[in-house]
Structures are given as C-alpha cells and as structure tokens.
Copies of this chain bind each other. A is one copy, B any other.
Amino acid sequence: MSSGATTSRSVCPVTYALEIFGDRWTLLVLRDLLLEGRSRFKDLLAANEGIATNVLADRLRRLERRGLLSKTRDPTDARQLVYAPTETAIGLVPMLVEMMIWSASQGQARVAPSFIARFEKDREALVTDLQAEIRARIGKPQL
C-alpha cells in the first residue's frame, strides 16, 4: 500500500477514516464525485464555492494516491481529464447516507423528502441503488 500504511499514527478506525478523508474539502469532493455525478475539474471547482484551484488539485491527487479515485482522459476531448470514484470510494456511500439523514434530522439541511422516504422504507435498498447508479454513470460493470 501507499503512504497510508506507513504514516498512519493510529489504528483506531475513526482516526484512520479521518486520515483518509477527514479534511473538509476532501469530503466535499467525494460528495461531488459520488452523489452529484461531477467528474471534471472545472465542475468540481464550480461546485465548491471558495475552493482554490491548487487546493482542489491537491485533494484530487491525494484521493488518487489513496486509491479513492481514478483519472482518465475524456475519450471525446483528450485535453480533458475525467475523475471517477473507485470501489473504495463507492464503499463510503453508506456513511454519506447516514451523514445526510442525520443532518436532515436536525432540520437545517436540504434533503429531498423522497430520499428520506426511501431511507425510511428500506435503507439497504437505497444504499444499493445509489451505488448501482454511480457504477452505471461511470461505466463500471455492476458488481
């Protein structure tokens, strides 16, 4: 494995997770890649009001190094890079869903009522559907 193994100061799972994506911008970029379907640098930049170009570039590099995203050339425009979440990143969907539901429960975050209804009806199905949608969007074979 990459530097993650050697720089890890702790094996507590919460600390480990924070070392990988415990940076505010990193988690927002993961949200965009996973839940918003953004895949290009300029869209990721526009989505995160206030993120500096060099900060975004750094977070994308780190995510790639940690195995959370892959980078390819756009087949229709070779100058453009396309970023896609890996299976490791798609594995974060359950955590993101719980984060969204918690925020919704606080009454101050905008979460679609249909999303909450799907969660309340069948959490597992919601997570599985979201992950399938991500894989379909990035052209990955369904697991």
**A residues neighboring B (CB under 8 Å):** 1, 4-5, 8-9, 11-18, 20, 22, 24, 27-28, 31, 35, 49, 88, 91-92, 94-106, 108-111
Contact = CB atoms under 8 A, between A and B. Distances in A.
Contacts of A13: 99-101, 103-104, 109-111
A8 B4 CA distance: 33
The complex is assembled from copies of this chain, and their number is: 2
A71 B3 CA distance: 40
**Best-buried of A35, A91, A92, A109 by chain B (most CB within 10 Å):** A109
Secondary structure at the A interface, as helix, strand, loop or mixed, is: helix
A28 B14 contact: yes
A98 B94 CA distance: 6
With most chain B CB atoms within 10 A of its CB, the pick from A16, A27, A105 is A16
A103 B22 contact: no
A108 B27 contact: no
Contacts of A4: 108
6 contacts: A12-B109, A13-B110, A14-B96, A14-B100, A18-B27, A18-B28
A61 to B, nearest CB: 19
A11 B109 contact: yes
Given A8-B108, A95-B102, A22 B27 contact: yes
A93 to B, nearest CB: 9
Contact of A110 (B9, B12, B96, B111): B12
